[in-house]
Copies of this chain bind each other. A is one copy, B any other.
Amino acid sequence: MEFLNVNVPDSSVRRLSAYLRKLEHLAAESVEHVSSTQLAEYMNVGAAQVRRDLTLFGQFGRRGVGYDVADLIQQLRRILGTHVPWNIIVIGAGELSRALIRYRGFAERGFRVVAAFDIDPRKTGKNVGGVPILPMDQLPQVIEQHAVRLAVLAVPEAAAQQAADRLAEAGIEGILNFASMKLEAPPKTFINQVDITAHLEQLSFEVSNYRP
């Protein structure tokens, strides 16, 4: 990824989210300042890594003091783009989709689920936690009306690619894909895959090959 012409490693962006989580905790405890060392010991990265990640985007610290917690939270949100709220949609109304629709973490981080969609007419017309389940043909309309740019895709594997095509066609710019298959999409459409079984397989690998 790039940010103002400098290359940003994916790993740095992931760590920014983790720093942000920690900073939110610190703010809740009314901590005002934090050093790169403190932020680092929470993750398993070095202090230099924390400083490097942050200086990719600007100079946010004060020498001899550290970082202002409230300010750094603002900065990270601005960098990640979550200083403004996002309206998102969920595709699929299965068990996982319904769990995601109700997931409080989304709203807490600035992502508001405005609607969900399903092809099954037995599921549409109802609502889950106040979020309406709509038929797929209302996709373009809802996307336009709520200026939706991101979608969460939680449908069966067999339906995932077709759904992704419709999302890309309707102008969605980013898809969070929960199906354990890679999706094809035009280059302007970002895809981020959450493959739960792959994570379990990694644990299986680690546990199987661990020698104390």
Contact = CB atoms under 8 A, between A and B. Distances in A.
Contacts of A122: none
Given A79-B205, A190-B207, A209-B3, A199 B181 contact: no
Interface residues of A, number: 65
A203 interface: yes
Interface in A1-33: 1-3, 10, 13-14, 16-18, 20-22, 25
Contacts of A106: 196-197, 200
A66 B167 CA distance: 36
Contacts of A42: 182
Kindly report how many copies of this chain are found in the complex they form together: 2
A3 B194 CA distance: 25
Interface string A155-174: 00000000000000000011
A141 interface: no
Report whether over half of chain A's contact residues are helix, strand or loop; otherwise say mixed: helix
27 contacts: A1-B205, A2-B209, A2-B211, A13-B205, A18-B182, A18-B198, A21-B180, A21-B181, A21-B198, A80-B201, A81-B201, A82-B201, A95-B98, A98-B99, A103-B196, A106-B200, A108-B197, A111-B200, A149-B207, A150-B207, A152-B200, A173-B207, A174-B207, A192-B199, A192-B202, A192-B203, A192-B206
